[in-house]
Amino acid sequence: MFYTDGKLQFPVRVDSPDPQFARALQQAIGGVEGEIRVAMQYFFQAFGARGNPKFRDLLMNTAAEELGHIEMLATAVALNLEGAPVSVKEEVAGDPVASAVLGGLNMKNLLSAGLSAMPVDSDGVPFDMSHIYASGNIAADMAANVAAESTGRVLATRLFNLTNDPGMKQMLSYLIARDTMHQNQWMAALEELGGPTKVFPIPNSFPQEQELQEFSYAYLGFQQDGSEPAPGRWSQGPSIDGKGNFKTVVPQPMGQKPVLGPAKPDSGAQAEQL
């Protein structure tokens, strides 16, 4: 069950409306790094969460918060568009193509949404849910969430540096702070699940003796001259999960040359392929 009280999670104020910045903000709504992505990701992870119910609560609470972020950003987009200088609006009326290029206005915001936000990215491409990761494995999902919040925070900091509007900077400063918390809470969840030595490799329910263990901790180098790659933490010493030791291997081909059977009749292949 979800409720709304009609109030924004955090104040949204636009001091100097800017249609170009409204377009940039659309990336934070409907881009692959945006709030629709994380809200839906956390919801669907929660819907399929099994085991200790506190992880489902964590996901649901954060998903609900992200819906509030969408509302904030959509309000910011609308305020930046509706308060745009008259000269920009006149350009739109007189020459839509020139306005789209010079004024930075995404024409979908005008033509399809009446100067309001849309579930699209900064180029007007609709968010299609292809970046929602909900595996049913709580540790894999938490690791995916760290990455999602990291790219979201990168985007928010870029937007912060794109604007001089004090109201927009204040809103983005809040969103950046929440990204900081979310990165930390997902890492804390992984720690509560046991940390690297118990969580990894994911899934930890699969017996490692059934994998080809000589390759479990081998860093493979594919330099053309056959030399070893530059060493790093990932190429030598104890593995992060504590279950092996990294080593560097310059591999030789172990498989055969692939030989496929003939094409099937009536498959559209050439006669020479049959």
Q: pLDDT tens across 133-161, in order? A: 999 999 999 999 999 999 999 999 999 99
- The helix or strand, by DSSP H or E, that contains position 220, with its residue range, turns out to be strand 218-220
Mean pLDDT of the chain: 92
Report the sign of the C-alpha dihedral through residues 131, 132, 137, 143, in that order.
positive
Tell the residue number behind the tokens 């009446």, with chain if given: 114
Tell the residue number behind the tokens 């200088």, with chain if given: 85
| pLDDT greater than 80 at residue 111 | no
Q: pLDDT tens across 213-244, in order? A: 999 999 999 998 989 899 999 999 999 999 99
Residue 189, token pair as written in the block: 């969840």
Q: pTM, whole model, 2 decimals?
A: 0.88
**Secondary structure class of 268 (helix, strand, coil):** coil
- Residue 112 burial (CB count, 10 A): 12
